[in-house]
Structure 1
Amino acid sequence: MSVTIKDVASRANVSPSTVSRVISDNSRISDATKKRVRAAMAELNYQPNLIARSLTNKSTKTLGLLLPGSQEDLLLNPFFVQAMRGISSYAKGKGYYILFTHADNDEDEVEVLTNLVGSQWVDGIILTTVKDNDKSIAFLKEKKHPFVVIGKPDDEEHTYWVDNDNVKAMFQVVDLLIKKGKKNIGFIGGAHEFKVTKHRLLGYLKALKVNNIKADLNLIYEKDYTENAAYEATKELLEYCVPDAIVTTDDLIAFGAQRALIENNMGNISLVGFNNTVLSMYKIPSISSVDINAEKLGMFAAKLLINHIEKQKVDTTNYIIDTKFIERDSTK
């Protein structure tokens, strides 16, 4: 026979409603009472019925996490794994679970979000990418459903978001390369529709301008966020010229670029990635990369969203997470 909330209440010598409030971590219940009730729950091996709780409290204690890409490509980019680690760590500490799903394109994203919001499976949603005129953001705003985005949205003031200063981060990388004597610098990024690509490209162009170097559009490539797309882009770039250096917007892109460089016996061309994934240090030569603190991005995204869900007073609706350039053999 299964243990009930009444059994726990009897063992702890409190009312069933007090047990319910302890399960919900109600601030009105004293720490001493919480400790006694939780001890009774442990002794009786009582597991709260989460479905019943969600019906009563109108809360599932679950966050939805939407990732980009097809089922085949899911989680190939280490950035999302790192961000998920930060999200799940913070959420677990606050008593929340994570439900993650993915979408192939904009239309699929809106369909997935429609199902999540309509089914009331999740209390809030984390979007892991931001695009120009983002349809997912527009949909969630229309539905007034709690959400946060990793990336800088069009409407910064009225959206919860967390990001790096991507313009500054790329500016510092390109400026450093120029000070090392590099003048002919290629840029390989993801699709231009993604805000992160656009902002890092702005940083690249700003560094060239500040150093009185004319931008050459033939050195700029914006492709998919995949190793193979970067490999093909680098081969195209090498047909145009032999650059002094190549900067990329993601380590995965840097991996593809490095493969093309080595195949063409140009492994000595300076190369920089972004995200500072573990594999970047094991490549030969090891790849310099910008550490964007992906885990911290995820943690603060979860923090913003949970504060929003729980209607807590906050001083800000966004966080800018610091970056750090990690130099390795590819730029030495």
Structure 2
Amino acid sequence: MVVTIKDVAKKANVAPSTVSRVIANSPRISEKTKKRVRKIMDELGYHPNVNARSLANQTTQAIGLIMPSSANKSFQNPFFPEVMRGISSYAHIKDYSLYMNTGETEQEIFEGVVKMVQGKRVDGIVVLYSRMNDLVIQYLIEQQFPFVLIGKPHHSSEEITYIDNDNYMAGREVTEYLISLGHEHIAFIGGSPDLMVTKERLAGFREAIKLANLRLPDEYVFYMDFLREGGQLAVERLMSYEQPPTAIVVTDDLMAMGVLSTLSEKGYHVPDDVSVVSFNNVIFSEIACPPLTSVDVRIFQLGYEAVKSLIEKIEMPEQSSRNIVVPYKIIKRQSCKQMNDDQLCL
């Protein structure tokens, strides 16, 4: 026998309209009543008809997710499955489904977003990256469509709700850590230069180098894809220099895995010959050889806070934009070491 909304209302001793408002999480209903009605829904095994509710409310009950590149490329990096785990965790609580958009090029990604918005396929969008002069962000602002950004906006930050770490300070702090270990020749391997996360971490890195009165050759800064191959290619070049670095800041753990494997292949030992620090603290950081010193950016929390903020914007359109800074923590492991006297004399 199918349980109806009237069955729930009868047992809860409320009107069917009250049950409907509880399902929609209306602020007009007290938390005490919501809790009681939801308990009865669970006891009776009642499941709201999402499609009918969406038609009645003129909503889709769906969230769009915009990846920075193709799914094949993005999902090679553990950052994205983990951030999506945070997103889906809160979306599930609020009964929202997820609609993912990817593309091989920036233009394809943009066209997919336009279809999402114009086709009314989603109620709001989470953009899982922040890029300089991004067509997607400009379009969403123009359309006044609800969206939240994971990352610091390139512009119009007062108009955008965004979730991020303090990547400038994180970049500066890990570099100062290496400097405190006696390193003077420190290289930087980042992602694409148009990504705000690269820009912010590099700015912090440069500031630490400057404050320590160290020299930073232009060839010590690399921009690569956030893939294992990106780290491998950068190390091939770095270790061929007359003065190779004694330490490397890598802005992504997957890239760092490529750094570690290539250093090993070339006969360098980490951390005896080269120290390595990285970002994200994904699961394989602690089982790498050696275990990676990495900045824990709390990826799950970034996703959770992003979709939570988006659903609040959807349900309360008048809410002003805000930014949430998720704290980071440097997890020190065995990939960094104090410079010895022989190395300091080089």
TM-score by length of 2: 0.89
- Match of 1:178? 179
For 1:221, what is the secondary structure of its paired residue? strand
- Counterpart selection for 1:264 from 263, 266, 269: 266
Corresponding residue of 2:233? 232
Q: Residues 1-332 of structure 1 correspond to what in structure 2 (within 5 A)?
A: 2-30=2-30, 33-34=33-34, 37-38=37-38, 41-42=41-42, 44-153=44-153, 154-240=155-241, 241-268=243-270, 269-311=274-316, 317-332=322-337
In the TM superposition, what is the alpha-carbon distance from 1:46 to its structure 2 partner? Answer: 3.1
Q: Is the 8 A contact 2:160 2:321 kept in 1?
A: no
1:296 CA displacement? 1.6
Say if 1:287 and 1:330, in contact at 8 Å, map to a contact too.
yes
Contact 1:275–1:289 (8 Å) recurs in 2: yes
The 1:312–1:158 alpha-carbon spacing in structure 2 relative to 1, beyond 3 Å, is: closer
State the Cα RMSD in Å.
2.1
Q: Is the Cα contact below 8 Å between 1:74 and 1:102 reproduced in 2?
A: no
Whether the aligned pair in 2 keeps the contact of 1:68 and 1:104 (CA below 8 Å) is no
Per the TM alignment, residue 238 of structure 1 is displaced from its structure 2 partner at its CA by 1.1
Asked whether the equivalents of residues 68 and 105 of structure 1 are also in contact (C-alpha less than 8 Å), the reply is no
What SS does the aligned partner of 1:289 have? strand
CA contact (8 A) 2:149 2:306 kept: yes
Secondary structure in 1 aligned to 2:158? coil
CA 1:186–1:61: 2 relative to 1, 3 Å: same
SS in 1 for 2:281: coil
Instruction: Tell me the number of residue pairs that the alignment of Structure 1 and Structure 2 aligns.
Output: 332
The residue type paired with residue 188 of structure 2 is F
Alpha-carbon distance between aligned partners in 2 of 1:42 and 1:243, rounded to the nearest angstrom: 61
Partner SS for 1:125: strand
CA 42–330 in structure 1, closer or farther in 2 if over 3 Å, else same: closer
Instruction: Look up the equivalent residue of 2:310 and give its one-letter code.
Output: L
Deviates more, 1:13-22 or 1:78-87: 13-22
Q: Could you tell me which residue of structure 1 aligns to residue 343 of structure 2? A: none
Q: CA deviation at 1:212?
A: 0.7
Structure 2, unaligned runs of 5 or more: 338-346
Distance in 1 (CA, whole Å) between partners of 2:235 and 2:249 is: 11
Q: Which runs of 5+ in 1 are unaligned?
A: none
Query: Which one-letter code corresponds to 2:333 in the other structure?
Result: R
Give the residue type in structure 2 aligned to 1:258: L
Opposite residue 167 of structure 2, the aligned amino acid is N
**C-alpha separation between the residues in 2 aligned to 1:169 and 1:36?**
45
What SS is found at the alignment partner of 2:47?
coil
Answer with 121-130 or 32-41: which moved more.
32-41
Give yes or no for contact 1:304–1:318 (8 Å, CA) kept in 2: no
Give a deviation string over 1:223-282, Cα, whole Å, max 9, x none: 111111210111011112421111111001111111110001112310011001110111
Q: Contact 2:152–2:162 (CA<8 Å) still a contact in 1?
A: yes
Further displaced range: 6-15 or 322-331:
6-15
CA displacement at 1:32 relative to structure 2 = 6.0
Q: What is the Cα deviation at residue 314 of structure 1?
A: 5.8
Q: Secondary structure at the match of 2:277?
A: strand
Rounded Cα–Cα distance in structure 2 between residues aligned with 1:70 and 1:110: 12
After TM superposition, which residue ranges in structure 1, 4 or more long, deviate above 6 angstroms?
Answer: none
Range that drifts further, 39-48 or 95-104: 39-48
Contact 2:159/2:321, CA 8 A, preserved across alignment: no
C-alpha separation in 1, matches of 2:40 and 2:176: 62
- Stretch moving more, 28-37 or 174-183: 28-37
Q: Aligned-pair distance for 1:43?
A: 5.2
1:113 shift after superposition:
0.9
Deviations 1:10-49 (A, max 9, x none): 5545433233222212233355654564455445533222
- Cα 1:187/1:53, change in 2 over 3 Å: same
Structure 1 residue 102: deviation in Å?
A: 2.3
